[in-house]
C-alpha cells in the first residue's frame, strides 16, 4: 500500500465503534434507521464495515447517540476520512473480493484449508493463470491478467522481510493430484510449494486420501487474525457470486476447532513436504 492506512480495516474498526455506541445507547439498528430516515440494512452495512462510511454518516450517528465528547467525535470522523482512501488493490479496478484483500493485507496470521487447489498465496504465476482460465471460462484475457497480477501482489505479504504474514495451510491430497495446466506446470508448482513450506512463517500440511472422511469435506475456508486485539478474527468463505464473512465469536470458534481437527488429521510438516516432493517427481516422469 502507498500508505499505512488500510481502508478496509479502518471501516471495520469504525463500524465496531459505532455498534458499541448504539448498544450503549440501548437502541436497535431499526430504531436508529427510523431516526435517520434510512434503511436498517444501511445501518447494518455501516456497522459491519462492508460499506464506506462518510463523515456525514458519523456526524449523524453521533448526534443520535448523543456523543458529547468532541475528541471521540473527531477521532471517529478521522477514521471515516481514512476509510475512504484507496488501498493498493483499487488501482486494478473492480476486484470482486476486494474486501477480503483489505483484510488479508492487514492480517497477522492466516489459516487456510483448501480441498481442491493450491491456495493463492502459494501459487506460481503459470499455475494461477491456468487455474483462473479454467475456473472462469468466460473471463477475458485482460481480466485474467489483472487477477493474476493482484494474486502476485498479494504474495508480497508472505515474502515481506519484516512482519511477514504467518501462513498455515492445510491441503487435501486432491489439490496436489489435480492437473492444472500441464504436468510440467504442476511439477513446478509443487516444487515451489516445497520451497515455500521451508520458510519459518509458512506451514504446509496435507491430508492424504487414505484419511477418508474428515471435517474439511464441506469446502474451502480461511481464518484471518489481526495484530490489534480490538480487531476480531474473521472466517472467510469464498462464493461464486458473493462471499461470506463470519465475525461472531461462536462462528469463529467453531471453524477454529474444525481447523484444529484438520491439522491433527493431516500428515505432519515433514511427511507433508515429502509427499509433495514425491508427487512432483511423478509429474517429472
pLDDT of 247-257, one tens digit each?
A: 888 999 999 99
Please, which pLDDT band fits residue 90 given cuts at 50, 70 and 90? low
Same domain, 222 and 261: yes
Q: Is residue 206 part of a domain?
A: yes
Q: What percent of the chain has pLDDT over 70?
A: 95
Q: State the DSSP string of the chain.
A: --SS--HHHHHHHHHHHHHHHHHHHT--HHHHHHHHTS-HHHHHHHHHT-S---HHHHHHHHHHTT---HHHHHHHHHHHHHHTSPPGGGGG---TTHHHHHHHHH-SEEEEEESSS--GGG--HHHHHHHHHHH-TT--HHHHHHHHHHHHHHTHHHH-SSS--EEEEEEEHHHHHS--S-HHHHHHHHHHHHHHHTSTTEEEEEE-GGG-S-GGGG--EEEEE-SSTTS--EEEE--SS--EEE-SHHHHHHHHHHHHHHHHHS--HHHHHHHHHHHHHHHH-
Per the CB < 8 A criterion, the answer to whether 174 and 206 are in contact is no
pLDDT at position 149 over 80: yes
Q: Is residue 131 part of a domain?
A: yes
Same domain, 68 and 114: no
Q: How many domains, in total, are found in the chain?
A: 2
Q: State the CATH number of the domain containing residue 52.
A: 1.10.260.40
Q: Is residue 1 part of a domain?
A: no
Decide which of 240 and 206 is more confident. 206
Same domain, 65 and 120: no
Same domain, 182 and 200: yes
Same domain, 75 and 127: no
Decide which of 103 and 261 is more confident. 261
pLDDT for the residue numbered 155: 96
pLDDT at position 206 over 50: yes
pLDDT in tens, 214-248: 888 888 999 999 887 777 898 999 887 778 888 88
Q: State the CATH number of the domain containing residue 151.
A: 3.30.870
Rounded distance between C-alpha atoms, residue 29 and residue 47, angstroms: 9
Same domain, 68 and 193: no
End residue of a domain, out of 42, 63, 86 = 86
User: HEC profile for 93-144?
Assistant: CCCCCHHHHHHHHHCCEEEEEECCCCCHHHCCHHHHHHHHHHHCCCCCHHHH
Same domain, 204 and 119: yes
Same domain, 203 and 258: yes
Q: What percent of the chain has pLDDT over 90?
A: 48
Same domain, 129 and 186: yes
46: containing domain: 7-86
Same domain, 67 and 198: no
pTM higher than the cut 0.85: no
> How high does pLDDT run on average in the chain?
88
Same domain, 201 and 188: yes
Same domain, 20 and 140: no
Amino acid at each position: 500500500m502507498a500508505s499505512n492506512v488500510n481502508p478496509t480495516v479502518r471501516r471495520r474498526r469504525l463500524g465496531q465503534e459505532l455498534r458499541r455506541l448504539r448498544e450503549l445507547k440501548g437502541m436497535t439498528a431499526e430504531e436508529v434507521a427510523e431516526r435517520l430516515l434510512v434503511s436498517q440494512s444501511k445501518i447494518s452495512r455501516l456497522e459491519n464495515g462492508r460499506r464506506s462510511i462518510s463523515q456525514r454518516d458519523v456526524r449523524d450517528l453521533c448526534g443520535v447517540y448523543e456523543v458529547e465528547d468532541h475528541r471521540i467525535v473527531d477521532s471517529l470522523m478521522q477514521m471515516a476520512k481514512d476509510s475512504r482512501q484507496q488501498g493498493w488493490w483499487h488501482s486494478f479496478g473492480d476486484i470482486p473480493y476486494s474486501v477480503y484483500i483489505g483484510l488479508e493485507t492487514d492480517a497477522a496470521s492466516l489459516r487456510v484449508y483448501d480441498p481442491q487447489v493450491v491456495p493463492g498465496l502459494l501459487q506460481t504465476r503459470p499455475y494461477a493463470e491456468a487455474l483462473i482460465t479454467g475456473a472462469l471460462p468466460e473471463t477475458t484475457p485482460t481480466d485474467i491478467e489483472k487477477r493474476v497480477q493482484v494474486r502476485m501482489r498479494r504474495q508480497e505479504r508472505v515474502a515481506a522481510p519484516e512482519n511477514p504474514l504467518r501462513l498455515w495451510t492445510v491441503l487435501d491430497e486432491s489439490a496436489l493430484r489435480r492437473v492444472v495446466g500441464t504436468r510440467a506446470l504442476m511439477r513446478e508448482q509443487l516444487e515451489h510449494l516445497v520451497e515455500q513450506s521451508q520458510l519459518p512463517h509458512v506451514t504446509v500440511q496435507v491430508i492424504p486420501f487414505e484419511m477418508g472422511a474428515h471435517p474439511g469435506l464441506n469446502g474451502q475456508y480461511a481464518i484471518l487474525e489481526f495484530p490489534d486485539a480490538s480487531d476480531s478474527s474473521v472466517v472467510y468463505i469464498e462464493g461464486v457470486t458473493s462471499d461470506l464473512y463470519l465475525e461472531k465469536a461462536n462462528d469463529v470458534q467453531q471453524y477454529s476447532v474444525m481447523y484444529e481437527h484438520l491439522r491433527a488429521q493431516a500428515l505432519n510438516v515433514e511427511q507433508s513436504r515429502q509427499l509433495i516432493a514425491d508427487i512432483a517427481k511423478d509429474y517429472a516422469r
